[in-house]
């Protein structure tokens, strides 16, 4: 129980840090799209909660916030001109001339990439700024391509759509840079766009199809492309149930392949911790999209988040604070000293 409450204390402080960062860079007050800061943090804290991996959780949550805001900007808010200008700025990695939401997104992303690269440089002695920028560039190019298809009425094949959609879902954009920080033995060569490991390609494919199964109705109404809908176009004799069943069959096969690559050494030479991180990311998307589109809902996840982060355990034992008042376990002052000694190095870090 003490361990559970201690973890809750850590997670709540980390969530407040992500919220503060999101407000500071203007991401939580864009005025459009989804504000999912809490969802983003809960996703990583609940799926990959190694003790005290604070930096990794904060990196993942910030990445997910950036991706959600930028994806909504490409889907809902930006004109094709604005989206093209922003993507070209990402390609040059120069935000000169950007205004409004485009400038906000670029500046927040630029700061985040610098923060990640500097951390890796300090710890490992190598600069991976270029590699991280290239992954983000690939993601923005995929978002732009999808925006062009939607705005022009373009109709790619299912293969063309997946080639772009696997990048636009942006799972690799989160997992690969974070893997470098998570495990120093992760090879920098694995960050090269379009030459990813089979495990990473599975990580990109499975969440894309999970998302499309639960989002096809909304995206049909919005005039967006979706694998479920494209399959119907290519197979006029099929109905929507046939298309969904087809996608679920693909998912089942690809999940089995993913587990082989994660659990059996002969399928992947990635560090074990990084393989488990790939699996954790897929599990997050299963949590959000396995039976419905929980990520887009403003309420579906609230009970889970409340139980995990805020509600105390009620199992008939003493709470953390009540134990601190128990004289048989030492004075209140002594207890607070021990608690502070444990917490301060982990959470109350100088900025």
Give pLDDT tens digits for 43-64: 999 887 655 588 889 999 999 9
Whole-prediction pTM: 0.85
Is residue 128's pLDDT more than 70? yes
Give pLDDT tens digits for 234-271: 999 999 999 999 999 999 999 999 999 999 988 988 99
Interatomic CA distance for residues 189 and 201, integer angstroms: 15
Query: Is the Cβ–Cβ distance between 234 and 158 less than 8 Å?
Result: yes
Q: 13 exposed, middle or buried (CB, 10 Å; 0-12, 13-18, 19+)?
A: middle
Q: pLDDT grade, residue 322 (50/70/90)?
A: low
Instruction: Report the Cα–Cα distance between both ends of the chain, in Å, rounded.
Output: 30
Interatomic CA distance for residues 284 and 57, integer angstroms: 13
Give pLDDT tens digits for 136-160: 999 999 999 999 998 888 889 999 9
More confident residue, 53 or 127: 127
Q: Which of left, alpha, beta for 114 (phi over 0: left; psi -120 to 50: alpha)? A: alpha
Q: 135 exposed, middle or buried (CB, 10 Å; 0-12, 13-18, 19+)?
A: buried
Q: Name the strand (E) or helix (H) holding 321.
A: helix 320-324
Residue (of 211, 169, 161) closest to 70 by Cα position: 169
Mean pLDDT, rounded, for 297-310: 90
Mean pLDDT, rounded, for 269-288: 93
Query: Is the Cβ–Cβ distance between 5 and 312 less than 8 Å?
Result: yes
Backbone torsions φ then ψ of 61, nearest 5 degrees: -65, -45
Interatomic CA distance for residues 202 and 278, integer angstroms: 9
Mean pLDDT, rounded, for 194-200: 91
Interatomic CA distance for residues 69 and 90, integer angstroms: 15
What percent of the chain is predicted at pLDDT more than 70? 88
Reading the block at residue 335, the tokens are 């207890």
Q: For 83-103, give one letter per residue: b (16+ CB within 10 A) or e.
A: bebbbebbeebebeebeebbb
Give pLDDT tens digits for 4-42: 888 899 899 999 999 999 999 999 888 777 888 999 999
Q: Name the strand (E) or helix (H) holding 234.
A: helix 227-234
């Amino acid at each position: 129980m003490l361990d559970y409450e201690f973890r809750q204390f850590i997670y709540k402080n980390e969530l407040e840090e992500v919220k503060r960062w999101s407000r500071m860079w203007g991401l939580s007050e864009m005025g459009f799209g989804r504000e999912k800061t809490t969802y983003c943090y809960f996703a990583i804290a609940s799926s990959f909660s190694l003790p005290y991996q604070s930096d990794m959780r904060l990196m993942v949550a910030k990445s997910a916030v950036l991706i959600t805001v930028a994806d909504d900007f490409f889907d809902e808010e930006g004109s094709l001109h604005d989206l093209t200008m922003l993507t070209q700025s990402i390609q040059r990695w120069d935000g000169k001339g950007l205004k409004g939401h485009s400038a906000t997104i670029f500046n927040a992303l630029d700061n985040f990439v610098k923060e990640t690269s500097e951390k890796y440089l300090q710890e490992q002695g190598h600069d991976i700024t270029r590699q991280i920028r290239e992954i983000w560039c690939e993601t923005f190019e995929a978002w732009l391509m999808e925006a062009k298809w939607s705005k022009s009425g373009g109709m790619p094949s299912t293969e063309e759509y997946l080639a772009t959609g696997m990048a636009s879902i942006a799972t690799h954009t989160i997992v690969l840079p974070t893997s470098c920080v998570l495990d120093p033995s992760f090879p920098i060569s694995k960050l090269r766009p379009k030459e990813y490991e089979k495990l990473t390609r599975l990580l990109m494919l499975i969440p894309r199809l999970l998302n499309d199964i639960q989002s096809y109705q909304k995206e049909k109404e919005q005039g967006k492309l979706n694998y479920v809908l494209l399959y119907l176009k290519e197979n006029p004799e099929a109905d929507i149930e046939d298309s969904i069943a087809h996608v679920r069959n693909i998912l089942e096969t690809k999940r089995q392949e993913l587990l082989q690559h994660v659990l059996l050494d002969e399928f992947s030479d990635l560090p074990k911790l990084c393989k488990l991180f790939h699996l954790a990311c897929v599990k997050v998307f299963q949590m959000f999209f396995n039976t419905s589109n929980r990520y887009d809902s403003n309420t579906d996840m609230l009970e889970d988040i409340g139980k995990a982060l805020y509600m105390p355990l009620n199992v008939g034992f003493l709470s953390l604070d009540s134990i601190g008042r128990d004289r048989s376990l030492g004075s209140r002052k002594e207890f607070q000293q021990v608690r502070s000694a444990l917490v301060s190095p982990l959470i109350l870090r100088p900025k």
